[in-house]
Chains A and B, each alone.
Chain A
Amino acid sequence: MNRDALVAALREIVGARGVLTRPSELLAYSADGLPTYRKVPPLAVFPGSREELIRVVRLLAAEHHPFVPRGAGTGLSAGALAEGDAVVIGLNRLTQILSIDPVNRLAVVEPGAVNLTLTRAATPYGLHYAPDPSSQSACTIGGNVAENSGGPHCLKYGVTLNHVVAITAILASGELVTLGNAAGESEGYDLLGAFIGSEGCFGIAVDVTVRLTPNPEAVRTMLADFTSIEAGARATSAIIASGIVPAALEMMDGPTIRAVEASIYAAGYPADADAVLLIELDGLAAGLDADVRLVERLCRDAGARDVRIARDEAERARLWQGRKKAFGAMGRVAPDLVVQDAVIPRTRLPDVLRTIHAIAERWGIQVCNVFHAGDGNLHPNIGFDSRNADEADRVHHAMREIMRACVEAGGTITGEHGVGLDKLEYMPLIFSPDSLDAQCRLRTVFDPERRANPGKVVPVHACREWTMAPAARASRVEVA
């Protein structure tokens, strides 16, 4: 089928307006939240119902045509970009919350439902959806599933994997399959666990059954400020080692604080601090203040100048707003922003942050750190101007060194943003050719023709199979 015929067949399914073909219209789908990668897709199709989605995937299956699912496009690893002639399947019209079961604390949602919408729908029952990416007012549950997304409150409550109990997926072959079991135990291989975090390469989530979490009886939000990033890191390590599991434990460094305070999201952070920790404790009311006192003491012992406890909901919301909008605030400071996402063992925070600082100095760039300190999940962000080739080059070098430093500290290359295209080059740093090959094999089980989000996650040239096959070696670098 040529392109015109494909467009006609897709329009037959979703209607004329459900298929975009003009480059000007497709520009909006040429990048995700990471602006350093751009590619205008050849086509984008937007099914308006589950049935339409199924028919679209089956049509592409019959044509052996590649595709890439797309939620809200807030991803930060260029995962939703269309490689080659892949058709973008936009899921943002499938936004329904299909059911809420307040007794069993479950909800069934369509993939395009926005994360925060689900929590809003659960609020009347005293429930919420726990994984709360900072992008939660825009990102979709389907995107969360694909990236196994986290968020500030995942420190205590766990990431997407721990909150999804079943998924109906449509495989690239067009077959529907239910993974997991919402009403009882699951048998056999944990294919649900394998699907979560598969970045759109194993198929498309058609509906997702998630666990809802009761709202905590009591919440205390604290802001501790420090005159050095190291002191903040020491406080973090001390809190984790104490055994208290805060609901959230977030760090922002001086440059981030000042960017936030200079923006419309000013949260009242002390502008002269070199680090603040935003710490939230929640749970049953009784006994909570004992933990608050202990955390306060640990912060002061580590050198906190001040530890402030939000007096009311308004102050709490303001403290959080600054954190959740920190990326946006930094985006105003420089024309381009690269956001990194590495994880290190929590005891290594002080020394790795020192290393990152040294790397930034050496390359003459400004790093802003705003991250999930309690998990050891770093987000070193670098603002720069991509029109300045020399600066862009230095940023790239610095990022590579930072990633290496995190891996050398016993860490990993992504804690929540996924590999997408952006992290492909780092995969061999943490996985052997055999391990990468095993990932390729798993992918092939779900999608033998490798048509679902081609080109992402596993660099095929690094797999043993590929390196051993001379014919393949001769061809250009290819990706799974």
Chain B
Amino acid sequence: MTATTGTATPVRTTADVVERVREAVARATPLRIVGRGGWLDAGHPVRAAHVLALDGLTGIVDYTPGDLTLTARAGTPLAEIARATMAERQWLALDPFGSPHGTLGATVATASAGPLAHAFGTPRDNVLGLEAVTGDARVIRGGGRVVKNVAGFDLTRLLTGSWGTLGVITEVTVRLRALPEVEESWAIATPDDPPTLDALLARLRTASVAPLAAELLNPALAARLALGDRPVLLLRLGANAESVRAQREQVAMLGDARPAPSEVWSALRECEPPGAAVLRCSALPSRLPETWALACRSTHAVPDALLHASVGRGIVRCIIPPGALTLGDAIRALRAFDGTVIAERLPAEHWFPSKSDPVRDRLARDVARAFDPHRVLNPGILELAP
């Protein structure tokens, strides 16, 4: 069964979600949980009768700028949070790939992170608490609204990245940061043969720079972002004026550095064409040149494959435009990598199982059973073996 559009009235409150989950249990009609639909084609195909759309569950519930914390309903778009916090010169330092109209709830449910994870971590590092409705229609809360909290077992971390399978996230509290006084971005032309890249990254690690983001782009992606037609290392600096000035001098010593417009980051976030296949390869950061070389090799035959790497985190992301005839070959080649290969979005027929470990798999299955005993929440999306 594939998902059909919801027929019920739109969801506006947590109580509405409880109602919908109760109904799903009673009628044995599993739900496909959707924020604004940006992730609809991601993940394993979901076997669900109904869509539970959360785009009506919106709004900032609490924002105290002096606390640098914000609580919003799950369907609130990141762009709305950005607008509200910008007015106080603050931001939620999460920039997951995709449109800024993606929702807070989906970002947390999928644990999606973008280039800023280099300095600020991923959702697990930025979420302070959440509310969710479990598969047996109970409202649970983890964490709270304060920045430090070890009360009880950590339901917040458990639900972050659970892809909706343990609970429908209805509300999230996040940690905010002050916007840097000054920001600027630099693109350094980068020969990407492994030894040269390795040397450059080693210099970056020891230089007096503390970038907010550091992404390596392949020529196709650099061209798409109007940064020339060679591989580039894109750095985002942000601090007080004096610090940024000093860091800029350091960046200039790393190589042929040119200023890049600040919009380059949103362009990078939104660069993937609709329907693209996306895979991520990761290993120790010291192996990045090797991981990069493998990703380049594997996608060599794909016209217009877009590649970028979070160099500090050792992750290479490969975007393969839709319709590439060689997609199957590219996936096979990438999967031969001895690091971790994660599929972000793939056409259904190309899905592959993630690495398994008997004990961890059993824990995962038992967690899913404990929180969604009737399997009504996004069944199949994580492809847990029965």
Chain A interface residues toward B at CB < 8 A: 101, 103-104, 106, 147-148, 150, 154, 158-159, 161-162, 171, 175-179, 181-191, 193-194, 196-198, 201-202, 217, 237, 240-245, 283-288, 290-291, 343-347, 372, 375-377, 410-419, 423, 427, 430-432, 434-439, 441-446, 457-458, 464
Give Cα distance in the complex from A150 to B148, angstroms: 9
Q: A181-B340, A431-B141 are in contact. List 13 more A-B contacts (CB 8 A).
A: A103-B205, A161-B157, A193-B157, A288-B243, A347-B66, A377-B148, A417-B150, A418-B150, A419-B152, A427-B152, A432-B141, A441-B370, A445-B370
Chain A residues with CB under 8 Å of B151's CB are: 412-414, 419, 423, 427, 430-431
Is B139 engaged at the interface, CB distance under 8 Å to the other chain? Answer: yes
Distance in angstroms from B147 CB to nearest chain A CB is 5
Query: With A191-B360, A412-B146 known to touch, is A346 a contact of B152 (CB < 8 Å)?
Result: no
A439-B155 contact given A286-B208, A375-B148, CB 8 Å threshold: yes
Asked if B233 CB lies within 8 Å of chain A CBs, one says no
Residues of A within 8 A of B242 (CB): 286-287, 290
A376 contacts B147, C-beta separation under 8 Å: yes
On whether the beta carbons of A435 and B150 are closer than 8 Å, the reply is no
Is A435 a contact of B155 with CB atoms below 8 Å? yes
Instruction: Output the least CB separation between A214 and chain B (Å).
Output: 9
Which residues of chain A are near B149, meaning CB under 8 Å?
Answer: 343, 412, 414-415
**In the complex with contacts A178-B357, A241-B66, A284-B210 CB distance below 8 A:** yes
Q: Enumerate chain A residues within 8 angstroms of B111, measured Cβ to Cβ.
A: 190
Taking CB atoms, residues of chain B closer than 8 Å to A375 are: 146-148
Q: How far is the CA of A439 from the CA of B239 in the complex (A)?
A: 40
From B138, B146, B315, give the contact of A345 (CB < 8 A). B146
How far apart are the CA atoms of A411 and B146 in the complex, in Å?
6
**Across the interface, do A242 and B150 meet the contact criterion of CB distance under 8 Å?**
no
Asked whether B274 is an interface residue with its Cβ less than 8 Å from the other chain, the reply is: no
A residues in contact with B208, CB < 8 Å: 217, 284-286
Which residues of B in the span 85-125 have a Cβ within 8 Å of any Cβ on A? Answer: 89-90, 111, 121, 124-125
B294 to chain A, nearest CB (A): 13
List, in ascending order, chain A residues with CB within 8 A of B124's CB: 161, 190, 193
Name 24 A/B residue pairs within 8 A (Cβ), A-sorted. Answer: A104-B286, A161-B124, A176-B359, A183-B340, A184-B284, A188-B360, A190-B161, A217-B208, A241-B68, A243-B179, A285-B208, A287-B243, A287-B245, A347-B67, A372-B148, A376-B147, A413-B151, A419-B151, A427-B151, A435-B140, A439-B152, A439-B153, A442-B153, A458-B153
Chain B residue, CB-CB nearest to A176? B359
Over the window 159-185 of chain B, the binary record of Cβ atoms lying under 8 Å from chain A Cβ atoms (1 yes, 0 no) is 011100010000000000111000000
Q: What separation, in Å, do the CA atoms of A19 and B70 have in the docked complex?
A: 51
B271 contacts the other chain (Cβ, under 8 Å)?
no
CA distance A286 to B249 in the complex (A): 11
Q: Which residues of B contact A183 (CB under 8 A)?
A: 282-284, 314, 339-340
Contact between B140 and A162 (Cβ–Cβ < 8 Å)? no
B19 at the A interface (CB under 8 A): no
The answer, yes or no, to whether B280 is at the interface (CB within 8 Å) is yes
Interface residue B35 (Cβ < 8 Å from any Cβ of A): no
Task: Give the CA-CA distance A447 to B65 in the complex, in Å.
Answer: 41
Q: Find chain A residues with CB under 8 A from B284 CB.
A: 101, 104, 106, 182-184
The answer, among B147, B153, B240, for a CB contact under 8 Å with A194, is: B153
Q: Is the CB of A188 within 8 A of B146?
A: no
Which residues of chain B (350-386) have a CB below 8 Å from chain A? 354-355, 357, 359-360, 363-364, 366-367, 370-371, 382
Given A104-B286, A188-B364, A445-B366, does the pair A175, B145 have CB atoms closer than 8 Å? no
Bound form: Cα–Cα A415–B382 in Å: 33
- Please report the C-alpha to C-alpha distance between residue A81 and residue B220 in the assembled complex, in whole angstroms: 60
Interfacial residues of chain B within 198-217, with CB under 8 A of chain A in the complex: 205, 208-210
